[in-house]
Structure 1
Amino acid sequence: MTLTPPFSGHCLCGATRWRAEALPLWQGHCHCDSCRRATGAAMASYVGLDPNSVVWQGPPPVVHQSSPGTRWHRCATCGSPLAYFADRFPNEIHLHAATLDEPAAFAPEQHFHAGDRLGWLHLADHLPYRIGPKDDLAQVLALIRDTFAYMEGRIDPPSSLNRLDLAALRNLAAQAEIWGIGGPLLGCVVLTPGADHLYLGKAAVARSARGQGIGRALVSHAETRARALGLPELRLQVRVELTETQAIWERLGFLRTGATAHDGYDRPTSYSYAKKV
């Protein structure tokens, strides 16, 4: 079951209904403190839509402004939360997924503000979430270092990961996009937009979670991000010595497109790979 327009929902008492006449812009779970307190739940699940595609039926919702630029729509009769608006998302309405007439059709694609999630809520759904400069980057650094430890002594020149520390990772989170899966962290990837591509770097999967499709989920999300950014392909590089890693990327649909050499080397040291999206 999927959310195919038209689809609809209603409040607890049924007095206020809504109908959506377009495909969702996105579907996901939010863990921010504001959404938790507004709903009284560990997280809030939303369907993002163009406001012009939503038709209200019954008594008009009561609008409550919780802070400047933030508004919540609730049923005027029973008080059920129905939708969220924010000035920073001027072309979106966020409808509460649990109000759907067919809530089983909700298909979440990612977590928002996962760094704010409650410690007792574990993410086992393999949905991606963005990791920002203020989030727990120590676990990201530990996962990357552990994943790439096998390269030590195998590649020449040595990996730049030897110079990666929390400060560098924090700068990376601010300048590019770091995405993770799992809580505790099971996989991560750094996505850096270029002029005509999205570059994948530092893709890592925990040893205990390999073979569970996490790497494929990270690549699938990278494709989603590339399309959202209007970029036609994904790119990455793999050291020439790492034949098993090259095979993994090839199984994920990447094609070798060339080779490059580090400064001071007269032979290829890395292979370039790309995948159209």
Structure 2
Amino acid sequence: MADITIRPATPEDAHLTAALMYSSGPKAFDYVFANQQPEGSLDFLHWMFMQDKGMFSYRNHWVAEVDGKVLGLIGSFTKSTIDKGMLATSLGTIRYLGLIQGLKALAKGMRFEYQLVKPPKKDCLYIAHVGVTPESRGLGLGSKMIAHVESLAREQGIGKLSLDVSVINPRAQQLYERLSFKVLGEQQSYTPDLDNHRYMEYLLS
């Protein structure tokens, strides 16, 4: 196995992490943030990642490095993190996209977050934005990053990990199942532009 290092993300990682974050849910990001521009979602995520607050901020993310090169990204959130970051995310979206397009994006994003994927429960550390570069698949980055988040949960006295995975991403679901996550339900999409999502939890022993 490669020598993998997990470290907190920094604003300087944005040029690498935007594509990794985008790869974790391209259809969802395009549906909410693309604003009819081919590179709209990537540009938005790049800008938001560098901000000090919000759901997409570097402060909520960790990167996986091999030989000093960033090859993976993972985010983790508590219910409190989500609640506190919502205002910053909303203001950042409006600032970046403008008032009208920003409000439209927020309406889409809120529906996605509360109808298709569920907000974190109080007793869960929620995993999101998991991405690795195509050439690094098979190196164990995903397992290593999730193990890191598990250690964070234990340090905080949180008893479960949780996440949502698209039904068209069986490779990711298989990884999570190997790491003891269980599917607890499936949310049906309300639009053909988005996929059904399965909710998974891992009860820490």
Summarize the alignment of residues 262-277 of structure 1 with structure 2, pairs less than 5 Å apart: 262-263=189-190, 269-277=196-204
Number of residues paired by the alignment? 143
Q: Is the 8 A contact 1:198 1:233 kept in 2?
A: yes
Q: Which has the larger radius of gyration?
A: 1
1:131 pairs with 2:16: no
Distance 1:136 1:245, change over 3 A: closer
Summarize the alignment of residues 60-139 of structure 1 with structure 2, pairs less than 5 Å apart: 125-132=3-10, 134-139=11-16
Distance 1:181 1:161, change over 3 A: farther
- Report Cα offsets for 1:167-186 as digits up to 9, x if no partner: 33333354852000112211
Q: Is the 8 A contact 2:160 2:203 kept in 1?
A: yes
What does residue 201 of structure 1 align with?
Answer: 128
What does residue 178 of structure 1 align with?
Answer: 61
| Structure with the larger strand share | 1
Q: Secondary structure at the match of 1:135?
A: helix
Q: Considering Cα pairs closer than 8 Å and 6+ residues apart, tell me whether 1 or 2 has the greater RCO.
A: 2
Name the CA distance, whole Å, in 2 between partners of 1:176 and 1:273. Answer: 24
1:250 to 159, 177, 183: 177
For normalisation by structure 2, the TM-score amounts to 0.61
- Report Cα offsets for 1:165-204 as digits up to 9, x if no partner: 2233333354852000112211110111122111111111
In the TM superposition, structure 1's runs of 4+ consecutive aligned residues that sit over 4 Å from their partners are: 173-176, 262-265
Q: Secondary structure at the match of 1:188?
A: strand
Name the CA distance, whole Å, in 2 between partners of 1:196 and 1:135. Answer: 32
Matched-pair identity in %: 22
Distance 1:161 1:233, change over 3 A: farther
Distance 1:229 1:140, change over 3 A: same
How far is 1:261 from its partner?
A: 3.4
How far is 1:231 from its partner?
A: 1.1
Deviates more, 1:168-177 or 1:185-194: 168-177
**CA RMSD between the two structures:** 2.6
- Report Cα offsets for 1:70-94 as digits up to 9, x if no partner: xxxxxxxxxxxxxxxxxxxxxxxxx
1:236 to 158, 163, 169: 163
Matched letter for residue 28 of structure 2? S
Q: Secondary structure at the match of 2:158?
A: coil
- Report Cα offsets for 1:45-96 as digits up to 9, x if no partner: xxxxxxxxxxxxxxxxxxxxxxxxxxxxxxxxxxxxxxxxxxxxxxxxxxxx
Distance 1:161 1:172, change over 3 A: farther
Distance 1:168 1:263, change over 3 A: farther
How far is 1:225 from its partner?
A: 0.7
How far is 1:135 from its partner?
A: 2.9
1:141 pairs with 2:18: yes
What does residue 75 of structure 2 align with?
Answer: 190
Q: Which runs of 5+ in 2 are unaligned?
A: 34-40, 80-121
Name the CA distance, whole Å, in 2 between partners of 1:161 and 1:176. Answer: 23
Q: Which runs of 5+ in 1 are unaligned?
A: 1-123, 153-157
Q: Is the 8 A contact 1:260 1:269 kept in 2?
A: yes
2:29 to 144, 160, 183: 160
1:227 to 154, 157, 165: 154
